[in-house]
Amino acid sequence: MRSMITQPVRAFEGGAAGPSAEDLLCIDTIRTLSMDAVQKANSGHPGTPMAMAAPAFALWQNVLRYDPADPLWPNRDRFVLSIGHASMLIYSLIYLAGVRDVKNGKVLDAPALTLEDLKQFRQLDSRTPGHPEYHHTAGVETTTGPLGQGCGNSVGMAIAEKWLAARFNKPGFDLFDYHTYTFCGDGDMMEGVASEAASTAGHLKLGNLTWIYDSNRISIEGSTDIAFTENVGKRFEAYGWHVLEVRDANDQKAFLAALADAKAETTRPTLIIVHSVIGFGAPKKAGTAAAHGEPLGDAEILGAKKAYGWTNDTPFFVPDGVQDIFSKGLGARGAEASAQWKALYAAYAKEYPDLAKEVDDILTGRLPAGWDKDIPTYDANPKGVASRASSGEVLNAIAPNLPWLIGGSADLSPSTKTNLTFQGAGAFQPPEWNGTYGGRNLHFGVREHAMGSICNGISLSGIRAYCSGFLIFSDYMKPPIRLSALMHQPVVYIFTHDSIGVGEDGPTHQPIEQLVQLRATPGVTTIRPADANEVAEAWRTLIPMTDRPSVLILSRQNLPTLDRTVYAPASGLAKGAYVLADSDGTPDVILMATGSEVGLVVSAYETLKAEGVKARVVSMPSWDLFEAQPQDYRDSVLPPSVTARVAVEMASPIGWDRYVGLQGAIIAMHGFGASAPAGALLKKFGFTVDAVLAQARALLAK
């Protein structure tokens, strides 16, 4: 180590003072590990880790309240690398800081990453995938890579801290006061989702949030001047952010002063604009697009190491003492802070045992006893109720018994029926906007994309989050829904106005292909209930799911409430599909549907039954839950010997062929809808009892 520390401290742009020799040793180790890993993988992004190693080290070593020995410590500061392509930056930090590994929610006496793991960057089954993945690598707080998503997640994390503090902090017991730091880049600043999230954070006055913007002005196509020339600082000032600027990423003194300023500002989120040189130190590629998304090449790496004063050209060389430096800084500070918190929590548990039990349940993903005790049962009613309305009733029956269930809509709660109306529910707003940070109703505004990514951040903090909108606008939310599934986060997505039954709003608002998209996303449970009792069972099924997101698809129009003394109980929903109505023995024809169309096929079934036809009705609210059942159960619902099958759904037919087979029929949408009253649309597009009967009779006649 001594030979490394004696290297001269370089001069930086604008006369900025560089780091100390000891700090510089750590910073250059981050840089060289990042370069070497990308080079070995022959794939990756070396330039940003080289540019931002100094601010990252300064944050982790001097400011971040984080215990590497306990990466699950609840009151740790959160570090989000929204610029997920710079993954070697966080992998190097995790390795050098000695972050412990985590498995099944338990911290192990083993490192999260070893030097060998860094050498396996981007390789099959490695712990260092191309972009950071939550649950895959301990120390990674969220899966990032799609630009802007990490920014949205960080707003959710900041919201969660505010909510936890409002509910659980007591005089002398500040259980939750952590800060969220996010590294973002030019790409994030261009993405609309980050702008939506920033606008939300400014409105909510989230003073516990700091974004550190790496303004290197380079993207894959070259200088950002070809597409991005706005004044980002002025934009964020307009959002209501506190904006600071550091002229040179290597100016540790200026950067640490900016971090202190950000922490002191408690009524506004802070944006720190850090000007950096991508590929810093590379003799030919520094400051160019060539340093962004491809290996530097051996010659350029040697030149960069020479510029750093590096005395050992061996790839993945870590000088003696670097990890000790991290241990004496971040490690010691984090260990002391986490020990103090745990002692505080032990005293809190004695003083406030009921609240401590809630905290424990949140941290472990447990549900409180009796969370479902007030879920209603609905009497038969031919007029019925819209499933969006019954869902709102069920939600309001669950939420008082599940105190950490919070959420809202993209300015649509009167339509999606997702507002929590019980006494004390309140609105999550700063006091200036007549709310409280303990409120449980979130108002996201018309920001569907940010809403989804914010809910992921809330969920990553242990709180159960839900959000809602019209099904057609799930188009704006595919990235966060996909990331919910990748991260196994139990966010509940509530989508209403689920079909051409929307009527006069026309084809722009009538979902057709959205169900296919949601069903095609791995790890997402999609449920489209047929009546109020299936809605109740849907909520009873999805709330205990803690390892996946759920999507609840609901109607605008009334759905008849089926008489469950005549038809099978709605509890069959838990298996995804079930026999709702049947005949004696093996049926001659099977009618199947989801949602509002179930009532339609039930009417057709009754006609066929009166004609002496042996018919069966199968309600199929959740394909993925059905596919998870044993084969013998699936065969009992859909006997392979019965080939006369009719499926009915006001959406794309794609996917139904697996259930109707080559000889069956599908009544579905083969184009977009139209603007007209719902009744006229159902007749025009063939969603009538007569149309179902015609298809069934045609199949029976074969």
State yes or no: 292 annotated in a binding site.
yes
State yes or no: 670 annotated in a binding site.
no
Q: CB–CB of 161/180 below 8 Å?
A: yes
Q: How many CB atoms lie within 10 A of CB 459?
A: 26
Residue 1, pLDDT > 90, answer: no
List of domains in the chain: 23-339 (3.40.50.970), 381-560 (3.40.50.970), 572-701 (3.40.50.920)
Beta strands 180-185 and 464-470 are: unpaired
pTM for this predicted structure: 0.96
State yes or no: 509 annotated in a binding site.
yes
672-697: pLDDT as tens digits:
999 999 999 999 999 999 999 999 99
Q: Kindly indicate the confidence band of residue 14, based on its pLDDT and cuts at 50, 70 and 90.
A: very low
State yes or no: 216 annotated in a binding site.
yes
130-146: pLDDT as tens digits:
999 999 999 999 999 99
The type of residue at 486 is L
Q: Which residues are catalytic?
A: 448
436-455: pLDDT as tens digits:
999 999 999 999 999 999 99
* Cβ-based burial of 369 (10 A; exposed 0-12, middle 13-18, buried ≥19): exposed
457-497: pLDDT as tens digits:
999 999 999 999 999 999 999 999 999 999 999 999 999 99
95 forms beta bridges with: none
State yes or no: 687 annotated in a binding site.
no
183-214: pLDDT as tens digits:
999 999 999 999 999 999 999 999 999 999 99
State yes or no: 179 annotated in a binding site.
no
State yes or no: 287 annotated in a binding site.
no
pLDDT for 13: 42
pLDDT for 6: 31
State yes or no: 45 annotated in a binding site.
yes
pLDDT for 12: 43
Q: What torsion, rounded to 10 degrees, do the Cα atoms 409, 411, 413, 414 define?
A: -170
Question: CA–CA separation, 699 vs 702, rounded Å?
Answer: 5
Mean pLDDT of the 26-50 span: 98
Task: List the structure tokens of 113.
Answer: 């990453």
Task: List the structure tokens of 170.
Answer: 């007591």
State yes or no: 354 annotated in a binding site.
no
Mean pLDDT of the 412-422 span: 97
**What b/e string do you get for 293-313 counting C-beta neighbours within 10 Å, with b at 16 or more?**
bbbbeeebbebbbeebbbeee
Question: CA–CA separation, 111 vs 91, rounded Å?
Answer: 12
pLDDT for 17: 59
